Amino acid sequence: MTSSHHDTDTDAWSTDDAKALYMIDRWGRGYFDVNPTGNITAAPLQERGRKIALIDVVEEAREQGLRTPLLIRFQDLLHHRVRTLNEAFNRAISDLKFRGTYRGVFPIKVNQLKEVVEEILEAGRTYHYGLEVGSKPELFAGLSVHTDNESLIVCNGYKDENFIRTAMIGRKLGKKVILVAEKLSEVRTIVRVAKEMNVEPMLGLRVRLMTQGAGKWAESGGEHAKFGLSTAEILAACAILAEAGMSSAFKLLHFHIGSQVPDILVIKRAVREAARHYAKLRKMGHRIEYMDVGGGLAIDYDGSRSTFHSSMNYSVEEYARDIVFNIADICDDEKVPHPNIVSESGRAIVAHHSVLVVQAFGSIEKTPEAPIDIQTEEHKLIRNVLDTRDSLSVQNLAESWHDILQAKEESQKMFELGLLNLDVKARVEALFWETAERMQKLIAALDPAEIPEDVVELRSKLADQYICNFSVFQSLLDHWALGALFPVVPIHRLHERPGAESTLVDITCDSEGKVSKFIDLSDVKETLPLHALRGDEPYYLGIFLTGAYQDIMGDIHNLFGRVNEVHVFLDDDEECGYYIEETIAGNQIREVLAMTQYDTQSLIAKVKAQVDGAIKQDLLKPTEGMRLLADYERGLKDQTYLSF
């Protein structure tokens, strides 16, 4: 490591400045912090447990043969989230003297990994916390890991006969499996299959509310939603049940207005609308036991505590209180019994628990690395930019910017017409970026309000691109698809002042494979301050709050596939306070190839045939040919990401 003790910049910088710059306290919520040596720490149990430096986990994983990109899961953090949610509801229920109980379920589509689901069920055992499934594969997984017959399995999504039959297996085993009908035809099939199998079904109906969500998933709710029954269809469903003598099967009323609802007012409105449906149905004699408020409990990804799409203007406690209060309010008004409350929070349970660590291994810079050598007899265009550079001041920023833009444009035009040599074009461009960088330094010292409008774009124009060893399509899908924001912070060197404004690019051959939108307290930032790369020393960035949807939805664009993964448990008996309980190696090259029908044996056989042919034609000596073939075979077992 190079010592920077004599650097005055570093002296004036503390880890508190880093915490403020990256807003760690705001989105970290007591789970993440910076230690005095400038490393990010995780406190999976907040103030009640130990802190673990992420860089230590990265180094230990490396010793076990797992390089970055590395997904770190903090299993204790899952426990903490499950407890936080359940206790928030239980406290609201007792404070408001609510007469139902809380029976939350974890929607496993948000993270289906077995270790994650089992950890959540274990943490939720005392609360009878159950599962929500939305497809046949999820139901098959759910039936096997679910063992607490007091807790629910709620089945959402469109269903065929086999889905329904599989759910009935759960009923035969004494489980409270509730089939939520999305269509009337499903109600008919449920009635028929239940009779054939001689089981008592538990049925839920998903009501289509007029209240529409807010944020990026607003389309999940409202009149034109993909799921749910209109009021008329709900009454028709009740009639089908009554005709079959199965009215008592109707146990749950469900709604879901979409994920990541940033505004609590929208949630309150939806709860009141649904509670009204519940109350009216109860008054008609339907003994519904559960009211299910779906998902939507948001995560404050940007720490702004606002109604921006990547934030939320409420806490988990406020969410629970508002749901309990508004259901009670309407039930009391309509004089019907309080239901048990079910919620299906996924994001709020798992988002915090995983961190993706990626290595930045290079940068693409615009400014010249070496000073530009200026000769006396320079081209007129070069002299123009030079003059601008040398007379630059705070007073002529906008004018200077326009002048150098014009010079650069002109040089491009002349080049296209064949009037300019490559070396002149190169010098104009190099001087352009050098001048722009000097302007940027002047701007940095200005009050933001004084910066001329035209020059504001300079910062993002000048930003370096850090090349990071990961795939946005595998590990950060919602950033690419929806512009969702995630906190990105170096996990070490935070005692040093970061120098460069940067964006991130991944290693896929896709220009969309980049991160160029970052969290900010107001709106979105185009660049992220990062430290200069130092020789061969690895520089690691943490991408935080990625536990919900991201690490499970990724695709194999460019055949990169799954990343290495470690599961960390706190343990006071260990010297460092934790241990890595499980490691899961990322995909090998032969594995991702097999997913696209390239069978390993036939790959090798075909390359061998070509090696044999080359030997016959004397292009290769036999020993060399065999060695190359062995290299190819060995290489198939390598990991897909780059190794340094």
SS3 letters across 202-269: EEEEEECCCCCCCHHHHHHCCCCCCCCECHHHHHHHHHHHHHCCCHHHEEEEECCCCCCCCCHHHHHH
Site for ligand PLP contains 15 (CB under 6 A): no
β-bridge mates for residue 543, sequence order: 356, 488
Angle at 358 between CA 355 and CA 363, to 5 degrees: 145
With CB atoms as reference, the residue minimizing the distance to ligand PLP is 295
- For 373-422, the DSSP string reads ---SS--HHHHHHHHHHHT--GGGHHHHHHHHHHHHHHHHHHHHTT-S-H
List 69, 107, 204, 339, residue binding ligand PLP (CB under 6 A): 107
Site for ligand PLP contains 294 (CB under 6 A): yes
From the list 266, 483, 256, 259, the residue with the least C-alpha distance to 351 is: 259
Closer CB to ligand PLP, 299 or 611, in the complex: 299
Closer CB to ligand PLP, 345 or 469, in the complex: 345
Closer CB to ligand PLP, 259 or 311, in the complex: 259
In whole angstroms, give the CA distance from residue 278 to residue 99.
15
Considering only residues 320 to 349 of the shown chain, the ones binding ligand PLP according to CB under 6 A are 344-348
Closer CB to ligand PLP, 170 or 215, in the complex: 215
From the list 107, 131, 182, 145, the residue with the least C-alpha distance to 552 is: 107
Closer CB to ligand PLP, 156 or 359, in the complex: 156
Closer CB to ligand PLP, 216 or 282, in the complex: 216
| Residue 120 CB contacts under 8 Å (≥ 6 apart), including other chains | 78, 82, 106, 129, 349, 350
Site for ligand PLP contains 296 (CB under 6 A): yes
Nearest distance from residue 125's CB to ligand PLP, in Å?
21
List 259, 411, 474, 502, residue binding ligand PLP (CB under 6 A): 259
Closer CB to ligand PLP, 93 or 110, in the complex: 110
Site for ligand PLP contains 295 (CB under 6 A): yes
3-state secondary structure of 505: strand
Closer CB to ligand PLP, 211 or 469, in the complex: 211
From the list 347, 181, 350, 354, the residue with the least C-alpha distance to 258 is: 347
Considering only residues 536 to 595 of the shown chain, the ones binding ligand PLP according to CB under 6 A are 548
Nearest distance from residue 617's CB to ligand PLP, in Å?
59
Considering only residues 418 to 477 of the shown chain, the ones binding ligand PLP according to CB under 6 A are none
Site for ligand PLP contains 110 (CB under 6 A): yes
The interface region with ligand PLP, picked from 8-16, 63-71, 106-114, 323-331 by CB under 6 A, is: 106-114
Nearest distance from residue 113's CB to ligand PLP, in Å?
15
Residues that bind ligand PLP (CB under 6 A): 107, 109-110, 132, 134, 156, 256, 259-260, 294-297, 344-348, 548
